[in-house]
Amino acid sequence: MATNSLSLPTSKPAPRTWSFSLRWTEILQHAYIIFCCIIFVLPFIALFQYSLQKSSIISLNNVIANYSYVFGSFKDNLITSLQVSALAIIINFLISFPAAYAIVRYTFPGKRFLLSLLSLSLYVPAVVLGFGLVLTYNFGHIFIGSIWGLVFAMAVGTYPLMLTPLIVALKDLPPSFEEAALCLGASRWQTITRIVLPLIGQGIAAGVLLSFIIIFNEYLVTLFVVGTAPGLTTASLRVFNLVRTAGLLNTTAALAATMQIISFVVVLVFFRIIGTRYLKGTYLI
């Protein structure tokens, strides 16, 4: 089309002209992203495919045979994992909420140092944490041989992941809501349960999500703390043990794939309902 050099200025932007280099840049950008996605997703696809097979043959019988293990001998492991996760998350919340509230609503000396201290377990390697926990348990002669040792270990390890979203949520909450409730005659407890907690619900959900993902998939600290104690093997630890002793079995892959699916579903549901706002500041986002 001929361009008129006397054309009047319009409010629409000039139409793009297809230059050779522009087109290729776009294609390369998209190709790169797709390539990265494939690289990242490849292990999961391989795992899932392996869990559908027996002797390299995919058939419905094989699928049922493999996954029946999940509901059979692996069932206890999954239940233990979910129990430990639930208990650790509850303990996390009960300790994090008062801490977050104090950090946000009050001033006291050494606040910054305290915050760094509380986030410590995020930056400490898992083996160091595990070693330290075992020493603590031996020293105190407590928690040995019961599920509470594992729960406590998980709580210590994921505490900052519950604390940070709660701090973000409380910072975002204008103090005038609590003040209004107090002036209307509500007690501190009523103010917290009826006003503060409902309004930071999304922050709590974010903390729960982060803690769950880490605890559910954790095996290294678990190995230290639990060892071979009976009845305390989580699903993660079971997979680790099986791979170490029996190699790459299809049934093991089925358990791993189940764990994978559970994690995916939880994260997808969370992002669908709440979004990424409260995950900023934690190392996962």
Partner 1 sequence: MSRVRLVNITKRFGNTTAVSDVNMDIAEGEFVTLLGPSGCGKTTTLRMIAGLVEPTEGKIYFDEQLVNPLPPNRRNIGFVFQTHSLFPHMNVTDNIGFGLSVKGEDKQKIAARVQEMLALIGLQGYEKRMPSELSGGQQQRVALARVLATNPRVLLFDEPLSALDRNLRDQLKYNILDLQRKTHKTAIYVTHDQSEAFAISDRIFVMNLGRVEQVGTQLDIYLHPQTEFVAEFIGSNNTLAGEVIQSSDGAGERQVSVQAGNLTIQCRDYLGLKTGDHVLAFIRPENIRVLDNASSNHYLNQVEGTVEKIVFEGSTVHFDARVQDTLLRVELAGTERLTILNREGARVRLGFDEVTLIRRN
Q: Is 233 helix (H, G, I), strand (E, B) or coil?
A: coil
| Residue from 183, 245, 247, 272 in contact with partner 1 (CB under 8 A) | 183
- What's at 104, amino acid-wise? V
Instruction: Out of 142, 180, 261, 268, name the contact with partner 1 by CB under 8 A.
Output: 180
Tell which one of 68, 138, 190, 276 touches partner 1 (CB under 8 A).
190
* Rounded Cα gap, residues 284 and 246, in angstroms: 33
Q: Which stretch binds partner 1 (CB under 8 A): 76-84, 122-130, 180-188, 233-241?
A: 180-188
Closest CA to 122 of 165, 157, 90: 157
Please, which contacts does 179-182 make with residues 24 or more away whose CB atoms are closer than 8 Å?
none
Q: Is 192 in the site for partner 1 (CB under 8 A)?
A: no
Residues of this chain, 150-179, that bind partner 1 according to CB under 8 A? 174, 176-177, 179
Which letter, b or e, does each residue of 238-257 get, where b requires 16 or more Cβ atoms within 10 Å of its Cβ?
bbbbbeeeeeebbbbbbbbb
Q: Is 231 in the site for partner 1 (CB under 8 A)?
A: no
Residue 187 binding partner 1, by CB under 8 A: yes
CB of 105 within 8 A of CB of 179? no
DSSP class per residue in 190-225: HHIIIIIHHHTHHHHHHHHHHHHHHHHH--HHHHHH
Q: What is the longest distance spanned by two Cα atoms in the chain?
A: 89
Helix (H, G, I), strand (E, B) or coil at 54: strand
Check residue 194 for interaction with partner 1 (CB under 8 A). Answer: yes
Nearest to 165 by CA among 118, 100, 114, 105: 100
Q: Is-contact 225 133, C-beta < 8 A?
A: yes
- Smallest gap from Cβ 194 to partner 1, in A, equals 8
How far apart are CB 184 and partner 1 at their closest, in Å? 4
| Contact call for residue 195 and partner 1 (CB under 8 A) | yes
Among the residue ranges 37-45, 68-76, 148-156, 186-194, the one whose residues contact partner 1 (CB under 8 A): 186-194
Of 144-152, 188-196, 245-253, 266-274, the segment contacting partner 1 by CB under 8 A is 188-196
109 touching partner 1, by CB under 8 A: no
199 binds partner 1 (CB under 8 A): yes
Using CB under 8 A as the binding rule, whether residue 146 contacts partner 1 is answered as no
Nearer residue to partner 1 within complex by CB, 182 or 284: 182
Question: Which CB, 39 or 184, lies closer to partner 1?
Answer: 184
Tokens standing for residue 51: 């869990």
Residues 6-45 that bind partner 1 (CB under 8 A): none
Nearer to partner 1, 63 or 182 (CB): 182
Closest CB to partner 1 among residues 1, 184: 184
Say whether 8 sits in a helix, a strand or coil.
coil
| Integer Cα distance of 248 and 234 in angstroms | 19
Question: In the set 6, 39, 184, 273, which binds partner 1 (CB under 8 A)?
Answer: 184
Neighbours of 137 (CB within 10 A): 18
Give the footprint of partner 1 on this chain (CB under 8 A): 174, 176-177, 179-187, 190, 194-195, 198-199
